[in-house]
Amino acid sequence: MGMTIAEKILADHSGRATVKPGEYVWCSVDGTALLGHSPLLKRLETLGVERLFDPDRIYAVEDHMAPPPTLEVANAMVDLRRLVKKYGVTHFFEYGRHGILHELFPHHGYISPGDLIVSIDSHSTSYGCFNVASTPVNEEMLFVVVTGQIWLRVPETIRFNITGKLPGPEEFVVGKDVILRIAGEYGTECAIYRSVEFHGPAVHQMSMSSRFTMANMSVELGAKFGIFPCDDKTLAYLEGKMRRPSRPVAPDPDASYESVHSIDVTGMPPYVARPHDPGNSVPVMDVEADRVKIDQAYIGSCTNARMEDFRMAARIIKGRKVHPDVRLIATPASQDIWQQCLREGIWELFAEAGVLVTSSTCGACAGMHMGVLGDGEVCVSSTNRNFLGRMGSPKASVYLANPATVAASAVTGYITDPRKFL
């Protein structure tokens, strides 16, 4: 019996010829990450740990609350910098060169096709867009940085064939809309404990940025992995960056899938997820009909704050003003993106429109920093979760959308189909 991508990567990393769903395997990980707000130093010292499994495969940054909003976070960063020095962690990103880990690490070449990545933060599924099996842990970071090993239960695999032609960023319909649509049609627990594979012609037509968003939000389906095939676009993105050889993995023709679904994305509209679940997604026209007035519009997070996202928003913002009752906050996924937006003149036209541009952080997405919502406020956001209380007040409401929808809504003052601005 053939194997799926996840099965092949887990077999490869556990030293077995084959694995099958339901088996428990110990795997060697190719890379992992440390974040400042989840301190490990004291636990490592208590355990008397003298060295980490491979200081060159551990990447450290603080992104959730950057730079520190409080004394407590500042002190956690003192600990992170001490850990980095004490254990000789090679790759640490200081403020100004930092970013949200999932954007930062592939950009610096820490991710190669065929890898197994185990990392803190639930959106660690993001690296799946590079043909990687990547999954989040939290408590086990301690174990992973010491041993370089992880136990995993081999997951069943669900296959989504994305067919037809996605309208694309030119027409303001991107990967975000596809993944919101899947969350709506299949539910936010359709992939619990499962690996999700995305295949089909529309996948190869999609930009890496759109694939990133879909792999990223696979965790919103409950998935352990969200994996894309490797193609020319994958290799073009990673070319000249990778620190490890690329070992692309394709599923066997006779691989066994738990289920296979087909989705035709031809001519599909942008999608919006209503409060308080990413699965409450509907075409943007349905929400526009409700004339949902907004207080905050947010373009940020690992999900949608890359160049494709800001370029779409800039086309809408250019020569217009943010609605007087609205604040639009733009928080790029990394300082490299911040700099590229500066070069392309995007920050200038944002400033003229009255947009607040911040430094890179997870920030408002998780209700932690720079853009937290107050009681009764409504936000349209390019982020990944609209759970009750997610972005601050439990009395606030969050609508998830693609960055073009966010920008269009910021201009009109209510949730708006961005295609009006084409």
Partner 1 sequence: MAEKLGLRFQGRVWKFGDNISTDLMMPGHLYSRMLPWEEIAKHSMAANRPGWAEQVRRGDIIIARRNFGCGSSRPAPRILKALGITVVVAESMSRLFFRNAVNVGFPVLICAGAYDAFEEGDVAEVDAETGQVRNLTRGTAFQGEALAPDTPPYEILKAGGLDTYLKDVIARMKKGTWRPA
Q: In this complex, which beta carbon is closest to partner 1, that of residue 98 or of residue 385?
A: 385
Beta bridge partners of 70: none
In 54-163, which ranges are E strands? Answer: 58-61, 91-92, 116-120, 133-137, 149-153, 157-163
Smallest Cα–Cα separation from 365: which of 280, 304, 409? 304
CA distance 370 to 353: 19
Q: In this complex, which beta carbon is closest to partner 1, that of residue 53 or of residue 257?
A: 53
405: its two tokens: 């929808």
**Beta carbon of residue 283, minimum distance to partner 1 (angstroms, whole number):** 22
Tokens 């962690």: give the residue: 89
Give SS3 for 195. strand
* Interacting residues toward partner 1 by CB under 8 A: 24, 26-27, 37, 43, 46-49, 64-65, 69-70, 72-73, 76, 120-122, 124, 136-140, 142-143, 146-147, 149, 151, 188-189, 192-193, 219, 222, 224, 277, 366-369, 372, 385, 387-394
**Beta carbon of residue 16, minimum distance to partner 1 (angstroms, whole number):** 12
**Beta carbon of residue 48, minimum distance to partner 1 (angstroms, whole number):** 7
Q: In this complex, which beta carbon is closest to partner 1, that of residue 50 or of residue 232?
A: 50
**Beta carbon of residue 359, minimum distance to partner 1 (angstroms, whole number):** 16
List helix spans (H) across 156-239. 175-186, 201-205, 208-216, 232-238
Q: In this complex, which beta carbon is closest to partner 1, that of residue 95 or of residue 143?
A: 143
Report CA dihedral (321, 323, 325, 328) to the nearest 10 degrees. Answer: -70
**Beta carbon of residue 50, minimum distance to partner 1 (angstroms, whole number):** 9
Q: In this complex, which beta carbon is closest to partner 1, that of residue 256 or of residue 393?
A: 393
CA distance 422 to 170: 9
DSSP-assigned letters across all residues of 344-362: TTHHHHHHHHTPEE--S-S
Smallest Cα–Cα separation from 285: which of 122, 420, 421, 107? 420
Q: In this complex, which beta carbon is closest to partner 1, that of residue 89 or of residue 396?
A: 396
69: its two tokens: 């909003």
Strand 157-163 to 259-264 pairing:
parallel
Q: In this complex, which beta carbon is closest to partner 1, that of residue 70 or of residue 339?
A: 70
Helix (H) or strand (E) holding 98: none
CB atoms within 10 A of CB 253: 6
**Beta carbon of residue 281, minimum distance to partner 1 (angstroms, whole number):** 14
**Beta carbon of residue 80, minimum distance to partner 1 (angstroms, whole number):** 13
Smallest Cα–Cα separation from 361: which of 22, 95, 5, 34? 95
**Beta carbon of residue 152, minimum distance to partner 1 (angstroms, whole number):** 9
Q: Which residues contact 383 (CB under 8 A, 6 or more apart)?
A: 298, 300, 301, 303, 304, 364, 365, 391, 398, 400
Q: In this complex, which beta carbon is closest to partner 1, that of residue 267 or of residue 394?
A: 394
Q: In this complex, which beta carbon is closest to partner 1, that of residue 47 or of residue 422?
A: 47
Beta bridge partners of 68: none
CA atoms within 13 A on the CB side of 188: 15
**Beta carbon of residue 99, minimum distance to partner 1 (angstroms, whole number):** 19
Q: In this complex, which beta carbon is closest to partner 1, that of residue 306 or of residue 369?
A: 369
Contact 327, 422 (CB under 8 A): no
**Beta carbon of residue 287, minimum distance to partner 1 (angstroms, whole number):** 20
